[in-house]
Amino acid sequence: MMHAVASLCTGIMAEIAERAAGRKSTEKSRRNERFAYALLLIAPVLFASNMLAARASADVIPPVALAFWRWTAMFALLLPFTGAALFRARYALRREWPDLLILGALGMGVCGAFVYVGAHTTTATNIGLIFSASPVLIILLASVAYGEAMSRLQGVGVALSLAGVLAVVSRGDPAVFLQLQFTVGDLWVLGATVGWAVYSVLLRYRQSALGTMPRLAAICFGGMVVLAPFHLWEVMAGAVPAFDARTVFTVAFVALFSSIGAYGVYAHIQSSLGASRTGLLMYLIPLYNGVLAYLLFGETLQAFHLVGAALVLPGLYLATRSPG
| Three-state secondary structure readout of 57-78 | CCCCCCHHHHHHHHHHHHHHHH
- Supply the pLDDT for residue 278: 66
Residue 70 has pLDDT above 90, yes or no: yes
Number of Cα atoms under 13 Å in the Cβ half of residue 301:
17
Distance CA 106, CA 102 (A): 6
At 169-222, the pLDDT tens digits run 777 777 666 655 668 888 899 999 899 889 888 888 888 898 888 998 999 999
The CA-based dihedral angle spanning residues 129, 271, 86, 71, taken in that order and rounded to the nearest 10 degrees? 20
- Supply the pLDDT for residue 231: 94
Q: Read off the amino acid at residue 146.
A: Y
When pLDDT is cut at 50, 70 and 90, the band that residue 19 belongs to is low
Neighbour count for residue 248 (Cβ, 10 Å): 14
Q: Show me where the domains of the chain are located.
A: 36-319
- Supply the pLDDT for residue 4: 47
Distance CA 261, CA 13 (A): 44
Residue 100 has pLDDT above 90, yes or no: yes
- Supply the pLDDT for residue 169: 73
224 and 71 Cβ atoms separated by less than 8 Å: yes
- Supply the pLDDT for residue 114: 92
At 105-163, the pLDDT tens digits run 998 899 889 999 998 888 888 888 888 788 778 878 888 888 777 778 778 877 887 78
Nearest to residue 166, comparing CAs of 158, 154, 178, 174? 174
Distance CA 183, CA 169 (A): 7
- Supply the pLDDT for residue 6: 46
Q: What does the chain come to in residues? A: 324
At 35-49, the pLDDT tens digits run 878 887 888 888 889
At 270-289, the pLDDT tens digits run 777 765 566 667 777 887 88
Give the DSSP letter string of 93-139: HHHHHHHHHHHHIIIIIIHHHHHHHHTTTS-HHHHHHHHTTHHHHHH
DSSP helix, strand, coil percent of the chain (3-state; round to 5)? 85, 0, 15
Q: Where are the beta strands (DSSP E) in the chain?
A: none
